């Protein structure tokens, strides 16, 4: 690594953070939650478009009155966007922030 000049206390902190298993674990956990979630919700939007193209009969199926499956799914896009956001915020508040705080306490404890 290039930023490991000896005798620079600030850079040593960086290195410690970078190398600490807790930090990698934190990043890994973030990626493990966020990347698949992003993938999933993108797939859901794109599948909707595909359904509209290849299964118009299914989308035009009337559930009640003039309300079709397509219309319900369409409104569902908004609802699901909101649901995903709430899910992410809950996860970040409950899981990610406490872990991050733990890491912080550890680092600050060590450097003080």
User: In the complex, which residues of this chain contact other proteins (CB under 8 A)?
Assistant: 1-3, 10-11, 13-14, 17-18, 23, 26-27, 30-31, 34, 37-38, 41-42, 45-46, 49-50, 52-53, 56, 59-60, 66, 70, 74, 77-78, 81-82, 84-86, 88-89, 92-93, 97, 100-101, 103-104, 107-108
Residue 37 or 72 with smaller CB distance to other proteins: 37
Q: Which of 90, 103, 76 is nearest to 37 (CA)?
A: 90
Q: Which of 20, 13, 28, 19 is nearest to 108 (CA)?
A: 13
User: How many other CB atoms are there within 10 angstroms of residue 90's CB atom?
Assistant: 10
Residue 61 or 82 with smaller CB distance to other proteins: 82
User: How many other CB atoms are there within 10 angstroms of residue 60's CB atom?
Assistant: 12
Closest CB 89 distance from other proteins, rounded Å: 5
Closest CB 22 distance from other proteins, rounded Å: 11
Distance, CA of 23 to chain centre: 17
Closest CB 82 distance from other proteins, rounded Å: 5
Closest CB 54 distance from other proteins, rounded Å: 9
Rg (CA), the chain: 23
CB 17 within 8 A of CB 24: no
């Amino acid at each position: 690594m290039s930023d490991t000049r000896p005798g620079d206390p600030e850079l040593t902190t960086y290195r410690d953070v970078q190398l600490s298993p807790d930090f990698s674990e934190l990043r890994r956990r973030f990626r493990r939650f966020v990347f698949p979630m992003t993938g999933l919700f993108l797939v859901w939007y794109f599948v909707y478009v595909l359904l509209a193209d290849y299964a118009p009969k299914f989308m035009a199926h009337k559930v009640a009155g003039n309300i079709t499956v397509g219309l319900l799914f369409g409104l569902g896009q908004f609802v699901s966007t909101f649901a995903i956001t709430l899910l992410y915020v809950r996860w970040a508040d409950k899981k990610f922030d406490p872990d991050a705080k733990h890491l912080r306490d550890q680092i600050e404890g060590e450097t003080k």
